[in-house]
Amino acid sequence: MAEVTARVSGTMGLTAEQVRRVLRAAGRAPSVHNTQPWRFRLTESAIELHADPRRQLPVADPDGVELRMSCGAALFNLRLALSEVGVRPIVTRMPEPRHPTLLAKVRVGGAKPPTPEEAALVAAIPLRRTNRRPFADDPVSGAHRHELRSAARREGATLDIVADPERLAKLGELSARAHRRQLADPRFVAEFGLWSGETGSRGDGVSARAGGPAPAPRDPWVLRDFTGDRRPEPAGHSSFESEPLIATLTAHTAGPLGDLLAGEALQRVLLTATAHGLAVSPVSQLVELPEIRAAVRELVGTARPPQAVLRIGYGWPVVGSPRLPVEDLLLAGPEQGPGRYRCDRRDPHDRAQLW
């Protein structure tokens, strides 16, 4: 695969500096294992968002659901960042059915200053982090719960808070069971190892310093160890919050489009949480294994299988994970067709041919 040298240039009447700013914001989105599976092609009239199949997780995410959700989160940031530079974005999702890696085309829909809410969400982009550390024991306020639910709703998804203690306990058991099953799969462990324990040598993967302490046996929500076996000892057997707020996120639409929309909704929820001083960590083992995901759906009673399970609370500042430079996010090539990818770090399993 030939490498492509791409430059950030003006598009849609934006200056090169505005384009860089918008793409940098998009690249700050969360992504599963910090794979950053998004690529952008700049044309005269649009910014195209493409999925990079080489960055899909073949074991944890064989169908590309989390890959598309991650790209949806980047799309939400892109929309917000455009509004910050005074552009009303018009988004066409999945514009070419025969080209499934092309997830969206974003065009200019006129000039419009950002609303106060958009400005607050844009300001939250660089502050948002996945927080895997214990949260305070204070319950999340009713007003904040309302804000989070309404954030999901505005992007075509539902955020269901699992309030019933019995259901919550059962969900915790499912989380621990799913985690054990994944750790028993050497392919999962090998894949996880490729993307965790990052100590500063690359622009992707989860930073070792972004992991939290090991949970006590009764704390089933932060089980994944991203520290590369350097997890700090638990501070005791009650280090994590005693009444965690757990919520499921479910898009109203099925299929790949639903995954993209779920990612946009996820990011709106995460940025709303950040803007209100809340911290979040996803619990993805509950949605990655089909039988567990089905059991979660039955337990919570959602209309469709949920795409994400989130632990939410009031946390303390944590370090973030690295990001790839904007230049590495650019896709060059003809406007139509699959394009060519520049990839720093090749996945051993080449997924490109699957799309």
Ligand X SMILES: Cc1cc2nc3c(=O)[nH]c(=O)nc-3n(C[C@H](O)[C@H](O)[C@H](O)COP(=O)(O)O)c2cc1C
The CA distance from 198 to 330, in Å, is: 23
Nearest to 203 by CA among 27, 16, 73, 7: 27
Structure tokens at 266: 């996820």
Contacts of ligand X in 8-37 (CB under 6 A): 30-34
- Asked if residue 342 binds ligand X (CB under 6 A), the reply is no
Identified binder of ligand X from the candidate list 132, 133, 179, 293, rule CB under 6 A? 132
Piece of the chain touching ligand X by CB under 6 A; list 69-77, 172-180, 183-191, 239-247: 69-77
Q: Is 149 in the site for ligand X (CB under 6 A)?
A: no
DSSP 33-56: GG---EEEEE-SS-EEEEE-GGGS
Task: State the binding string over 37-66 for ligand X (x if CB under 6 A, else -).
Answer: -----------------------------x
Minimal CA–CA distance to 140: which of 58, 226, 241, 40? 241
What residues from 260 to 319 belong to the interface with ligand X (CB under 6 A)? 281-284
Chain positions 194 to 213 lying near ligand X, rule: CB under 6 A, are 206, 210
Shortest Å distance, C-beta 57 to ligand X: 10
249 sits near ligand X (criterion: CB under 6 A): no
Closer to ligand X by CB, 36 or 83: give it.
36
Question: Does 250 interact with ligand X (rule: CB under 6 A)?
Answer: no
Residue nearest to ligand X (CB): 30
Q: Which two tokens stand for residue 102?
A: 């092309």
Q: Residue 44 CB, nearest distance to ligand X (Å)?
A: 31
Task: Answer yes or no whether residue 248 interacts with ligand X by CB under 6 A.
Answer: no
Query: How near is the Cβ of 13 to ligand X at its closest, in Å?
Result: 30
| Residues 99-128: x where in contact with ligand X by CB under 6 A, - otherwise, as a string | ------------------------------
d(CA 155, CA 146): 15
Q: Where are the alpha helices (DSSP H) in 58-185?
A: 65-84, 116-124, 142-154, 165-183
**Distance in angstroms (rounded) separating the CA atoms of residues 304 and 293:** 10
The DSSP element (H or E) to which 89 belongs, if any, is: strand 87-93
Residues 216-245, interacting with ligand X (CB under 6 A): 224
255 CB burial (10 A radius; 0-12, 13-18, 19+): exposed
> Which three-class secondary structure state does DSSP give residue 354?
helix
**Does 129 interact with ligand X (rule: CB under 6 A)?**
yes
Question: What is the Cα–Cα distance from 261 to 156, expressed in whole angstroms?
Answer: 7
Q: Does 320 bind ligand X (CB under 6 A)?
A: yes
Amino acid found at 176: A
CB of 339 to ligand X, least distance (A): 23
Min dist. Cβ of residue 111 to ligand X (A): 31
87 or 206: CB nearest ligand X: 206
- Please give the backbone phi and psi of residue 103, each rounded to the nearest 5 degrees, phi first: -90, -30
Rounded Cα distance, 25 and 178, in Å:
33
Residue 321 contacts ligand X per CB under 6 A: yes
Binding site for ligand X (CB under 6 A): 30-34, 66, 69-70, 73, 129-130, 132, 206, 210, 224, 281-284, 320-321
